[in-house]
Amino acid sequence: MSTLGGFTGRPIPTNLLGEEKEDLRIDGRGCEDYRCIEVETDVVSNTSGSARVKLGHTDILVGVKAEMGTPKLENPKEGYLEFFVDCSANATPEFEGRGGEELATEIVNTLYRIFSNESTIDVKSLCINPREHCWVLYVDVLLLECGGNLFDAISIAVKAALFNTRIPKVRVLEDEEGSKEIELSDDPYDCIRLNVENVPCIITLSKIGCRHVVDATLQEEACSLASLLLSVTSRGTLTCMKKLGNGSLDPESIFEMMETGKRVGKMLHTSLQKILDKEESLGTTRQKGRVRRTNLACHCNGCNFFQQIFMALLFSHTLQRFGSPTNFCF
């Protein structure tokens, strides 16, 4: 498991209530700061790919299962992805009974919308026999704990799981009578890997007062009347946008949030790819249960002085109370 430290973008003066006093939120972060993100791949053995992402108190598990199916009539030369979301009742009491079905449907529809772009995943590479056989990727998302900013954490986990996915190579054999047989490779290393470079991540910006913040906690989400979900690629391109909440957003705010989302999204992709490459390089030598930390440098133009003091005091207090900060990161 690896960690994306709480990286920052250009700070915007605000606090939780939107008063122009300090670039500090109640947990000491700036407006464009993410919480510590823990990423672990290859966590479920009976899947083609899997990943677990912890973003603050939000915990997401994603498994990808590659199965052979029939291409869709409208796209006979392509494979396709199917998304399923399970809101565990242990994540929050609100999911008990049928409470999580509406949220699960909303998440599934959002994922389908993101991956509807042809450039997101090369689905043509999933085709085995046009009109006859293709690979179908079943992407199962399990919400283990909800601590705010679900959509961002889910998109990160989905991208990490797809990066980890290994699809067996197949050969199509044809006999003298013209009948075709499909032969799967037994070599686990003889597989197809997906190119996830163009898979976007969701950046959620929550409007609080007259300012907007990324990676909102549950408390911050309760103070926000409107949020903007932005699907951002590694090149900073917006592929889709969605508004959440009953509040209104003026055009100027939307433009500012879009620019912030593109800037933060590019940094998130860069940091995530480094972590995924690091996880991949470990191979079979990775040690389960061992936390591997990667602290990212600050990307802001000038960190707030009060934030630096706050984090220094917090770090000092942690040292005094717990000793060496092996499992502590900003």
Mean pLDDT computed over 252-273: 94
- Percent of the chain clearing pLDDT 70 (strictly above): 77
Count H helices and E strands in the chain, helices first. Answer: 5, 16
Count how many residues are written for the chain: 330
213 has a pLDDT exceeding 50: yes
What would the DSSP string read from start to end of 183-232? EE---TTSEEE---TT--EEEEEEEETTEEEES--HHHHHH-SEEEEEEE
> Do the Cβ atoms of 63 and 42 come closer than 8 Å?
no
Taken in order 264, 112, 272, 125, the sign of the CA dihedral is: negative
| Measured distance CA(290)–CA(325) in Å, rounded | 14
Taken in order 31, 36, 41, 43, the sign of the CA dihedral is: negative
The region of weakest confidence among 17-21, 40-44, 172-176, 189-193 is 17-21
172 vs 305 pLDDT, higher one: 172
| Measured distance CA(121)–CA(294) in Å, rounded | 28
Average confidence score pLDDT of the chain: 80
Dihedral, CA of residue 101, residue 109, residue 233 and residue 78, to nearest 10 = 130
pLDDT at res. 43 = 93
Three-class SS string for 294-308? ECCCCCCCCCCHHHH
pLDDT at res. 44 = 92
**Torsions phi, psi for 101 (to 5 deg):** -65, -40
pLDDT at res. 7 = 52
Which residues, 6 or more positions from 40, have their beta carbon under 8 angstroms from its beta carbon?
Answer: 1, 2, 51, 52, 53, 279
Taken in order 308, 310, 315, 320, the sign of the CA dihedral is: positive
Pull the structure tokens for residue 216: 């909102």
Q: How confident is the model at residue 2 (pLDDT cuts 50, 70, 90)?
A: low
CA geometry: angle 10, 155, 147, nearest 5 deg = 75
Mean pLDDT computed over 178-203: 84
pLDDT at res. 115 = 95
Q: How confident is the model at residue 303 (pLDDT cuts 50, 70, 90)?
A: very low
The region of weakest confidence among 52-56, 180-184, 302-306 is 302-306
308 has a pLDDT exceeding 80: no
pLDDT at res. 3 = 64
H helix runs in the chain, sequence order: 101-115, 150-164, 218-223, 251-282, 305-322
Taken in order 251, 257, 260, 264, the sign of the CA dihedral is: negative
Mean pLDDT computed over 195-205: 96
Pull the structure tokens for residue 120: 């997101």
64 has a pLDDT exceeding 60: yes
Buried b (16+ CB within 10 A) or exposed e, 238-264: ebeebebeeeebeeebbebbbebbbbb
pLDDT at res. 301 = 36
Most confident of 47-51, 103-107, 219-223: 47-51
Classify 65 in phi/psi space as left (phi over 0), alpha (psi -120 to 50) or beta.
beta
